Structure 1
Amino acid sequence: MSVTHQPGQPPQKQEATWMPLVDTIPGCPPGLEYLTQLDQILIEQQVDLIEVLLSWECNNKYRVMNSMNQQCYYAAEKTDSLMRLCCGSDRGFKIHVVDNSGKEVLRIRRDFKCCGGCCWCADADCAAHEVIVETPEGEPLGYVRQLPSKWKGHYGILDSSRNQMMEIWGPCCGCQGLCCRADVEFPVRSMQDGNIVSKISKQWGGVARELFTDSEKFSVTFPQDLDVKVKATLMGAVFLIHFMYYEQEESHNS
């Protein structure tokens, strides 16, 4: 699918099926009303022919859909070429999330940390990768922070005051291939009682998609009545997991 986009403008692409408009809801951050209707979102990275043909890392682009494959948002990374080339999957980034009218409703950003990513040292601010999920005006809605571990991916879901609400333990290896075609799951547990309240899954995309492109597809399931700010933060967790588990493989392949 051919896609071009600049933040603040609607994406130009082939005709898509749009999720019906949702009325303004008191107390809900503007533009996130779609999330109040959903108990699952699908996030699909778009294939970029330049990357496929030339192995040149481009800004990532994603479609965000509901369970009926109706598009509700479009997300586009904005990172300069030098940062992508030199820092690969460890780069700092901003992902602008726009609604179907092209209006920016959410921003997900990660600051660059030259020592970031080491799971053994993630209790130190200089080593822990973190994404901030915020409104276009810069008001934080939540944070997703890498937490210390021996070897598995470990992340905390924090509210706007940095109180940890949930945690995610990922697998040792998130690889998928000819011998491993199952979805890779990242369960999200409540810090209050330890129960699973959400689940992020890296979906198996088929042999051709997995071996010959760097286009990934994720799903996030959660209770429909979950706070919309927490849903938005879980969306941010998908992007952090994508960069730390799968963008790293893509950068090494390039």
Structure 2
Amino acid sequence: MATTHQPGSSMKDLGWMESPGKISGLPSGLEYLAEIDQLLIHQQIEIFEALTNIDTKNRYAVRNTMGQQVYFVHEESDFWMRICCQSERGYLLHIVDNFGQEVIRVERPFKWCAGCCWFANADCCAWEVNVESPPGNIIGRVRQNQSPWKPYFDIIDASGNSVLKIRGPCCACQEICCRSDVEFNVLSADEGSEVGKISKQWGGLVREWMTAADNFGVSFPRDMDAKVKALMLAAAFLVDYMYFEMDYHVS
């Protein structure tokens, strides 16, 4: 698994997806996304966090539909920010491939008053993540948009153009009485058609009630630009922190 992976380890032993080879014009590491139409994100359960209610750094395994690991994701954040701000903390997510090379970096700047959808037209009140691939090269960002109630997001490319819209449900939560998957629909820029989906999957009563370790599915057209697929992956993490990275129900 990713927790024991070292650069240069055998992909076969670890169940990693084999690299399809370099693709001209595509940042190294994004070629894994070129030929797939779905990603499955599994957040790792942190026993210390479950027992103490103290937020630890999140870690995720990103797999394809065959169960092969595509990426491993680990969070970089300040300890006191995790204690004081919890799910509203700023963070860096380092997304590495099967050779331990960081291929995508996702940054969410901390904002004092971000989160409320009513005021998300103002930059200071909108959550957003900046996405780089490779680190240092901006390929786009995901930004919360103003809405009367439902979660709205824009996926924006490196030129500042909105290329996709995300529309979430009125109630983006999962509790004992709400056990179905929570779906965020991904629409074309003109909102004329649905092109993908980000789904928070129901993890079972014990997992949902005792931990904040979440499972997501991200689907998109196979022929979508791999950079935009990477932005959708980053959007899934933003959705996780905003709506599902909550305090545990046990003390």
User: TM-score band, normalised by the shorter chain?
Assistant: over 0.9
Question: Do the aligned partners of residues 156 and 193 (structure 1) sit closer, same or farther apart at CA in structure 2, a change above 3 Å counting?
Answer: closer
**Local SS of the residue matching 1:200:** strand
2:76 aligned with 1:101? no
Is residue 106–residue 136 contact of structure 1 (8 Å, CA) maintained in 2? yes
Question: Do the aligned partners of residues 200 and 121 (structure 1) sit closer, same or farther apart at CA in structure 2, a change above 3 Å counting?
Answer: same
Distance 1:72 1:169 in 2: 26
Residue 218 of structure 1: aligned partner: 216
Which of residues 144, 148, 166 in structure 1 aligns to 2:142? 144
- How big is the shift at 1:48? 0.5
Is residue 57–residue 251 contact of structure 1 (8 Å, CA) maintained in 2? no
Residue 233 of structure 2: aligned partner: 235
- How big is the shift at 1:34? 0.5
Distance 1:104 1:74 in 2: 9
**Local SS of the residue matching 2:125:** coil
Residue 174 of structure 1: aligned partner: 172
- How big is the shift at 1:233? 0.2
Matches within 5 A, 1:76-225: 76-192=74-190, 194-225=192-223
**Local SS of the residue matching 1:87:** helix
Runs of 4+ in 1 over 4 A off after TM superposition: 8-11, 251-254
Deviations 1:142-171 (A, max 9, x none): 110000011211101111111111111111
Residue 17 of structure 1: aligned partner: 15
Residue 33 of structure 1: aligned partner: 31
Residue 250 of structure 1: aligned partner: 247
CA RMSD of aligned residues (A): 2.1
Deviations 1:78-130 (A, max 9, x none): 00101111111111100000001111100001111111111111111111111
Question: Do the aligned partners of residues 252 and 140 (structure 1) sit closer, same or farther apart at CA in structure 2, a change above 3 Å counting?
Answer: farther
- How big is the shift at 1:214? 1.2
Deviations 1:182-239 (A, max 9, x none): 1110000102351000101001111111111211000011111100010000001001
- How big is the shift at 1:251? 6.9
Q: TM-score scaled by structure 1?
A: 0.92
**Local SS of the residue matching 1:250:** coil
- How big is the shift at 1:3? 3.3
Question: Do the aligned partners of residues 132 and 195 (structure 1) sit closer, same or farther apart at CA in structure 2, a change above 3 Å counting?
Answer: same
Distance 2:35 2:225 in 1: 11
Question: Do the aligned partners of residues 184 and 251 (structure 1) sit closer, same or farther apart at CA in structure 2, a change above 3 Å counting?
Answer: same
Report which stretch shifted further, 232-241 or 163-172.
163-172
Q: TM-score scaled by structure 2?
A: 0.93
Distance 2:8 2:147 in 1: 40
Distance 1:105 1:252 in 2: 35
- How big is the shift at 1:250? 2.7
Residue 64 of structure 1: aligned partner: 62
**Local SS of the residue matching 1:123:** coil
Aligned-partner residue type, residue 247 of structure 2: E
Distance 1:250 1:230 in 2: 31
- How big is the shift at 1:68? 1.1
Aligned-partner residue type, residue 214 of structure 2: E
Q: How many percent identity over aligned positions?
A: 50
Q: Where in structure 1 are there 5+ consecutive unaligned residues? A: none
Distance 1:61 1:52 in 2: 14
Question: Do the aligned partners of residues 119 and 113 (structure 1) sit closer, same or farther apart at CA in structure 2, a change above 3 Å counting?
Answer: same
Residue 42 of structure 2: aligned partner: 44
Aligned-partner residue type, residue 193 of structure 2: N
**Local SS of the residue matching 1:72:** strand
Deviations 1:41-80 (A, max 9, x none): 0111100011111111000000000011110100001001
